[in-house]
Amino acid sequence: MTRPPPPDCVPERAWVRLPSGRRLDLIAPTPFDWTDEDLALGLARTFRWGGHSVWPGAPLSVAQHSLAVLELRRAKARLTPGQQLRELLHDADEGLINFDCISPLKPFLGPAFAELARRLAAAIALRYALPPWNAAEQRAHKIADVAAAAAEAVFVAGWTRAEVRETLGIRAPVRPADPLLARYGGEPWRPWPPEVATERFLAELKRLAFAAR
């Protein structure tokens, strides 16, 4: 009977087989390991707020959240196609891991998980030639990201406005207007089915990637 190698001899790897058939090593990703369709589908099947929702059906996907943040940024500033693409892909690593960790848990996952996310984000930035953030852009992005989170907490996850501030510690005002309504229609803040989120995210990704060339 063959004995397994000791733990310190086992090579570090964490393979994921994607719907396209490509294989992604989460520990050592390269920019060529996924297709746009893989990424869109992964983000549409990765859920925010721990997968909890007051709506029947699918919870809110990271794909829908990413499109909402993009719309909030567009409403405040004129962005180049590359800057818009960077906004759209700000959580793209979560679609490759298929995991959106709620913020209070992140310290418990430790520096190894943070390093894994950093490597994936670097591969994504290289793949799509994303411009680096400067301090002002990072602040503007964070404002939009937190504003989206505050509204999602109330209209999707079911927290009260007081709980958003006192329990979740989110200080942004809760805006009632869904930033995606004008572009896509539908019921405000209703999570899209994964196939709809995939289609809409993928269309925006391809359009911006082409425009940013």
Residue 27 maps to a domain:
no
The domain of 77 spans: 34-211
Residue 18 maps to a domain:
no
Q: Is the pLDDT of residue 2 over 60?
A: no
pLDDT tens digits, 64-118: 999 999 999 999 999 999 999 999 999 999 999 999 988 888 889 999 999 999 9
Global pTM reads 0.93
pLDDT tens digits, 121-149: 999 999 999 999 999 999 999 999 999 99
Helix (H) or strand (E) holding 213: none
Residue 93 maps to a domain:
yes
Half-sphere exposure of 58 toward its Cβ, with a 13 Å CA cutoff? 17
Domain count, the chain: 1
Structure-block tokens of residue 191: 């999570």
Tracing tokens 């499109």 back to the chain, one arrives at 67
pLDDT (0 to 100) of residue 8: 58
Report the share of the chain in percent with pLDDT over 90: 89
For residue 187, what is the domain's CATH number?
A: 1.10.3210.10
Residue 24 maps to a domain:
no
Arithmetic mean of pLDDT over the chain: 94
Residue 87 maps to a domain:
yes
Residue 170 maps to a domain:
yes
Residue 202 maps to a domain:
yes
| Alpha helix segments (H runs only) across the chain | 36-44, 62-76, 81-88, 92-97, 106-127, 135-155, 161-166, 181-184, 194-211
Residue 26 maps to a domain:
no
What band does 9 get if pLDDT is binned at 50, 70 and 90?
Answer: low
